[in-house]
């Protein structure tokens, strides 16, 4: 296991600055995700860590070793690509053995390590098959075995599951996490899929336009986003504009178009003052409907649309004279409210109301 330190990394392609002074510390044995939309710089950062790109500024270190200008083959990283990149004319065994043979290892050691790698991903029964004889999920397991067999210092994964169907993606998410933890690997995983990141990451960095906007555990970035982009990009949320009335006891009271709301700031560095324009973020699943009012953050309204998904019911709830639309989810619904019902209240806990700078 090694730690990875990325300090002030800048990467330019002509006039385009793909990375703008990125700094991240990754712990030994951590499964760390780089998450963001297309073009945010996550793959550029991963390729810089692998050595395919040399930063224009900043440093990258594996443990105490500066690898910023080290060529890829000397960094001893394992790489999994979106396309699998398996040799079509080679068998499973030959594909997995390729990296070891390039390193001139003895044949007996190659055979042992290939067998161990295939066993680790439960593919030992497919040693003589060609990639064309394997399913997408099986090919992905072989790609993982090939990355593991060289016993890398870290594993780098570039959207490895994007070509799989939904069921296989779920299966392979868990498999990748199991293997990384079994081998005590430090792994960096690039994706734009929020559920993929939230379900298996130890920590996540959310990137936008070449900058890191927030780093934290999946729970932190989902429940406590520090800016509007993170709140909007990860999951779904309701945004409500408002103005700070007062602050105290860790709470921020905000005047909004539907009434006063108590909330909290999720950014310890954020400073709010009375009169500041703010944006509130409220996750749909944190809003509840009832026929009886609550003491705070409670608003009467009328049911708009209902969509039933089985495990969840999704409502729109129209509040206030301007009929501000709130989206809310009810998990495991046991009763249903009808469109047009107006003897209901929507309410939410103050800790689920996140106060963000309006112009962030």
The predicted pLDDT at position 275 comes to: 93
Q: How confident is the model at residue 274 (pLDDT cuts 50, 70, 90)?
A: very high
Give the strands of the sheet with 298-308, arranged side by side: 288-290, 344-347, 298-308, 312-319, 324-331
Do 186 and 295 lie in a common domain?
no
Please state which of the ranges 2-6, 211-215, 237-241, 267-271 shows the lowest mean pLDDT.
Answer: 267-271
Reduced to 3 states (helix: H, G, I; strand: E, B; else coil), residue 128 is: coil
Do 212 and 244 lie in a common domain?
no
Residue at which a domain ends, from 228, 248, 274: 228
Do 140 and 41 lie in a common domain?
yes
Do 159 and 38 lie in a common domain?
yes
Beta strand pairing call for 251-256 and 259-265: antiparallel
**Which structural domain, as residue segments, surrounds residue 249?**
229-357
Residue at which a domain ends, from 195, 228, 261: 228
Do 178 and 326 lie in a common domain?
no
Please give the torsion angle defined by the CA atoms of residues 122, 125, 130 and 132, in that order, rounded to the nearest 10 degrees: -60
- pTM of the complete model: 0.88
Q: How many domains are there within the chain?
A: 2
Average pLDDT, the chain: 91
- In this prediction, residues 149-169 reach a mean pLDDT of 85
Do 100 and 164 lie in a common domain?
yes
- Tell me the CB-side half-sphere exposure of residue 211, using CA atoms within 13 A: 4
Query: Which percentage of the chain shows pLDDT scores above 70?
Result: 100
Residue at which a domain ends, from 193, 228, 263: 228
The predicted pLDDT at position 120 comes to: 85
- Residue 250 pLDDT > 90, yes or no? no
The predicted pLDDT at position 29 comes to: 95
Do 167 and 214 lie in a common domain?
yes
Q: How confident is the model at residue 122 (pLDDT cuts 50, 70, 90)?
A: confident
Matching residue, tokens 């945004």 = 239
Helix axes 136-149, 166-182, angle to 10 degrees: 20
Q: How confident is the model at residue 341 (pLDDT cuts 50, 70, 90)?
A: confident
- In eight-state DSSP terms, residue 329 is E
Do 163 and 246 lie in a common domain?
no
Do 105 and 24 lie in a common domain?
yes
Q: What are phi and psi of 322, to 5 degrees?
A: -90, 5
- Give the domain CATH number at 24: 3.40.50.300
């Amino acid at each position: 296991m090694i730690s990875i330190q990325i300090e002030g990394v800048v990467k330019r392609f002509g006039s385009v600055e793909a990375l703008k002074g990125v700094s991240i510390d990754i712990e030994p044995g951590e499964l760390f995700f780089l998450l963001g939309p297309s073009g945010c710089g996550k793959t550029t950062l991963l390729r810089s860590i692998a050595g395919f790109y040399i930063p224009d500024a900043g440093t990258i270190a594996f443990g105490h070793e500066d690898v910023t200008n080290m060529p890829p083959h000397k960094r001893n990283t394992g790489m999994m690509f979106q396309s699998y990149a398996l040799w079509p004319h080679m068998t499973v065994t030959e594909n997995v053995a390729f990296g070891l043979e390039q390193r001139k290892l003895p044949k007996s050691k190659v055979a042992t390590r290939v067998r161990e790698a295939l066993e680790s991903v439960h593919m030992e029964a497919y040693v003589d098959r060609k990639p064309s004889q394997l399913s997408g999920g099986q090919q992905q397991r072989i790609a993982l075995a090939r990355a593991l067999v060289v016993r890398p210092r870290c594993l780098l994964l570039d959207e490895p599951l994007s070509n799989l169907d939904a069921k296989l993606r779920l299966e392979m998410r868990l498999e990748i996490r199991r293997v990384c933890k079994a081998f005590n690997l430090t792994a960096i995983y690039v994706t734009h899929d929020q559920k993929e990141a939230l379900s298996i990451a130890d920590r996540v960095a959310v990137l936008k336009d070449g900058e890191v906007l927030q780093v934290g555990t999946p729970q932190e970035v989902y429940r406590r986003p520090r800016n509007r982009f993170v709140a909007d990009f990860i999951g779904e949320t309701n945004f409500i504009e408002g103005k700070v009335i007062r602050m105290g006891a860790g709470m921020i009271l905000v005047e909004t178009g539907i009434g006063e709301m108590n909330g909290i700031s999720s950014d310890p560095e954020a400073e709010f003052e009375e009169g500041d324009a703010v944006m509130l973020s409220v996750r749909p699943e944190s809003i509840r409907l009832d026929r009886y009012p609550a003491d705070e953050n409670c608003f009467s309204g009328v049911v708009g649309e209902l969509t039933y998904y089985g495990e969840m019911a999704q409502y729109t709830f129209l509040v206030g004279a301007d009929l501000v639309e709130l989206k809310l989810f009810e998990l495991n619904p046991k009763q249903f409210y009808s469109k047009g019902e107006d003897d209901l209240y929507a309410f939410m806990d103050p800790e689920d109301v996140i106060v963000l700078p309006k112009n962030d």
